[in-house]
Chains A and B, each alone.
Chain A
Amino acid sequence: MDSRMLLSRRGLLQAGLLGSTAIWAGGLVGCAARRVAAPAAVAPRLALSPAGEEILRAVMPVVLGDLLPADGAGRKQALDAGMASLDDYLAHLSLPLQAEALDVFETLDLLPVRVLLVGTWSGWRQTSAATVESFLRSARGSRFDLLRRMYAFLQSMSVLAWFDQRAAWPEIGYPGPPIERPAVSGGQA
């Protein structure tokens, strides 16, 4: 299998994940264009797709739990800064790896995948934290390497998005770098 396809729709189908419900899934894949249209991103992005942003904004709070600020403004700031930082990170990856990340997001945003794997008919934004958490836990322990890889990827993106932010540090006892340097472009908070 080409590395690009590891996490792709074709890879997913080849792995037989949807095989047991082939007729149903086949029908749904047939109208895959009926993805819930993602709303425009909050900021122009270099590499993070609208679908990717929707998914990561749903996954990040579930992975990080009460480490994220509880208040609305603090949480919004944490998510906004996290997405900007991930966008900058993804934009520096080689094009094949960027494409693979986009493919994961696109796959997870397909209606049949959302229904069969995540257990939701609505878009990621509307999906409850409990549903997202249950999907992540089942992916982590899955017998399919593909799903375990997806879990590792989404969890890792959440870690990258949060622990480099100043707001994350007091809670974990990290004093921050010993030398202050100006931030680079790319939404470093």
Chain B
Amino acid sequence: MSTREVHVGNNLDHDLVLEGDVAIVGSGAGGAISAEILARAGLRVLIVEEGAYPTPEEFTLREVPSFARLYNDGGVRPTKDGAIAIVQGRTVGGSTTVNWTSSFRTPEPTLNYWRDHLGIQGLELEAMAPWFETMEQRLHIAPWETHNLNNELLARGAAKLGWRHGVIKRNVRGCANLGYCGVGCPIGAKQSMDVTAIPDALDHGAALVTRVRAERLQLSGDRITAVEGLALDARGVRPTGRRVSLRAPWIIVAAAALSSPALLMRSKLPDPYERIGKRTFLQTHNYSLAFMPEVVDPFSGVQQSIYMDQLTWRDGVAGRAGFNMEAAGAQPVVTMNFWKGIGSEMSEFARRLRHLHTLVSQIRDGFHPDSPGGEVHLRDDGGAVLDYPINEYIWDGVRSSYLAMAECQFAAGAESVHPACSDAQWYRNWSEARAGISALRLRSSSVFLNSTHPLGGCAMGPDPRASVVDAFGRHHHVANLAVFDGSVFPTSLGVNPCLSIYALTARNATALAERIAGRAIS
């Protein structure tokens, strides 16, 4: 193994110009898998990442400093009206470094919807299966059978109600069941990009530049000639004045939803049908809190190992907002942040932490005319902000999932349930909860909403009037540009997205490698 080439942006004392075969913006699920495939094909790969590159030994396991350092905007990147906090990683490995490892294949109803309603060919279940298998092997994705009580209770409630549920697959190797995935796996067991595809790409001659923000793509005719970046200070906040230029005949944008479309917009790339940044989805997450008679210890053990998907397609794929259900226990700051109490409400709640059971629902969006998603806009400083108004379609999903989560928690034996909403109250049984939640006033900033699954904004599709890239991630108007990340999905997914991004990227990056190399890549 030769020395790995990593340039630390905040330490640069001169402008940096690198030349290669492919330049990649972003080192998360899309960027890293692309880098590995292209570097292994013998190409000189250049990767630029806005975050830093901590090693597993450097993760502190402390919540607040980790949110500050490993997440974009401290894990609370707000939508335009502030109603939803977007949670995205900003570190080498992107969100894979801080996600909870829940790995799902793209559901068949989603793939079929893309084919039947959006005309996307080649991504059917059979066609994608080999790519899912390849990535599952690569990242040691397998079912996880050691459930903490927070998950066990979800299974118990779902079983009592006869709701379909199952075991989650996770990308781990030698996992010690600590439950600290969200602050960076301290033992390197999580097979996130920072310990898998990125080091592998570096060992195959790739160069990585950290703490550099890709400012714009340099367009010349119908081709991009370079990625122009600004080096940032050690916190990743202020430009240092040093510039970084990555020159390559092929460019991959993999900066994720919000940031990928924003980069295309800042670069003023052709967008004749104004599609860039449109149809950005959040799969909005809402939460339900319950106290259980037994000790749950939600901060300990793998956070997510059981899913419930009985209601994801409850009204058909194109019907009312469906949602899944998963456990959402974590360390005290995350857990306490679901609760907006004051004084004695807060102290009484906190003192019962060990008995707290927390569920999350993810409300799928993008499959219905009343669910067009949000739009990315550029702020004055060039940064991205997502305008995602919450309409009645989404509120219906919020109310329905509050009801379902409460029903599930009471079925699992809860003593009391409280939706994560300041206007709600503690309900002592299911009938009280059903009445209370049905009448509950749902309004922004009172309902706790966030999203760890921002998707879309550079939608794929066959028709340039309705999409930004084709189903191989190739930009409709710029010859040497591809987008390989979660921003290409034309709807949300109905499941946690990481494996869908790995698999689609593996397919599309392999096709690109073959095109560049002019031969088949095994």
Please name all residues of chain A whose beta carbon is closer than 8 Å to the beta carbon of B380 when the two chains form the complex: 2
Q: Which of A141, A151, A172 contacts B350 (CB 8 A)?
A: A172
Chain A contacts with B in 28-84, Cβ cutoff 8 A: 62-67
User: Once bound together, how far apart are the Cα atoms of A6 and B445, in whole Å?
Assistant: 13
Which applies to chain B's interface (DSSP): helix, strand, loop or mixed? Answer: loop
A181 contacts B337, CB within 8 Å? no
Stretch at the interface among A17-25, A110-118, A120-128, A155-163: A155-163
Q: Which of B65, B81, B332 contacts A172 (CB 8 A)?
A: B332
Q: Which of A92, A93, A148, A156 contacts B337 (CB 8 A)?
A: A156
Q: Given contacts A67-B347, A94-B237, is CB(A181)–CB(B65) below 8 Å?
A: no
Please name all residues of chain B whose beta carbon is closer than 8 Å to the beta carbon of A91 when the two chains form the complex: 68, 235, 237
User: Once bound together, how far apart are the Cα atoms of A89 and B73, in whole Å?
Assistant: 9
Nearest CB on B from A112, distance (A): 23
Please name all residues of chain B whose beta carbon is closer than 8 Å to the beta carbon of A93 when the two chains form the complex: 68, 73-74, 237
A159 contacts B336, CB within 8 Å? yes
Please name all residues of chain A whose beta carbon is closer than 8 Å to the beta carbon of B336 when the two chains form the complex: 159, 163
User: Once bound together, how far apart are the Cα atoms of A140 and B342, in whole Å?
Assistant: 10
Please name all residues of chain A whose beta carbon is closer than 8 Å to the beta carbon of B353 when the two chains form the complex: 172-174
1/0 per position for B94-128, CB-CB distance to A under 8 A?
00000000000000000000000000000000000
A152 contacts B340, CB within 8 Å? yes
Nearest CB on B from A79, distance (A): 15
Q: How large is the interface on B (under 10, 10 to 19, 20 to 34, 35 or more residues)?
A: 35 or more
- Measured CB to CB, the nearest residue on chain A to B70 is A92
Is the CB of A12 closer than 8 A to any CB of chain B?
A: no
A3 contacts B78, CB within 8 Å? yes
Q: How large is the interface on A (under 10, 10 to 19, 20 to 34, 35 or more residues)?
A: 35 or more
Is the CB of B180 closer than 8 A to any CB of chain A?
A: yes
B342 contacts A63, CB within 8 Å? yes
A155 contacts B340, CB within 8 Å? yes
Please name all residues of chain B whose beta carbon is closer than 8 Å to the beta carbon of A96 when the two chains form the complex: 379, 381, 383
Is the CB of B520 closer than 8 A to any CB of chain A?
A: no
- Measured CB to CB, the nearest residue on chain B to A91 is B235
Is the CB of A27 closer than 8 A to any CB of chain B?
A: no
Q: Which of B59, B78, B82, B383 contacts A181 (CB 8 A)?
A: B59
- Measured CB to CB, the nearest residue on chain B to A136 is B342
Please name all residues of chain A whose beta carbon is closer than 8 Å to the beta carbon of B67 when the two chains form the complex: 89
A92 contacts B351, CB within 8 Å? no
- Measured CB to CB, the nearest residue on chain A to B236 is A92
Please name all residues of chain A whose beta carbon is closer than 8 Å to the beta carbon of B77 when the two chains form the complex: 97
A88 contacts B65, CB within 8 Å? yes
B61 contacts A179, CB within 8 Å? yes
B interface residues (Cβ-Cβ under 8 A, vs A): 58-65, 67-69, 72-74, 76-78, 80-82, 178, 180, 186-187, 235-238, 297, 299-300, 331-333, 336-337, 340-344, 346-347, 350-351, 353-354, 379-381, 383, 385, 422-423, 443-446
Given contacts A140-B422, A171-B350, A181-B58, 4 further A-B contacts (CB under 8 A): A91-B235, A152-B445, A155-B342, A163-B336
A interface residues (Cβ-Cβ under 8 A, vs B): 2-4, 6-7, 62-67, 85, 88-89, 91-98, 133, 136-137, 140-141, 145, 148-149, 151-152, 155-156, 159-160, 163-164, 168-169, 171-175, 177-179, 181-184, 186, 188
Q: Supply 15 A–B pairs (Cβ within 8 Å), ascending by A.
A: A3-B82, A64-B346, A65-B346, A66-B344, A91-B235, A133-B343, A152-B340, A160-B337, A171-B350, A177-B61, A178-B178, A181-B61, A183-B62, A183-B65, A184-B65
6 smallest beta-carbon distances between A and B, as pairs: A177-B61, A148-B445, A92-B68, A65-B343, A163-B332, A173-B354
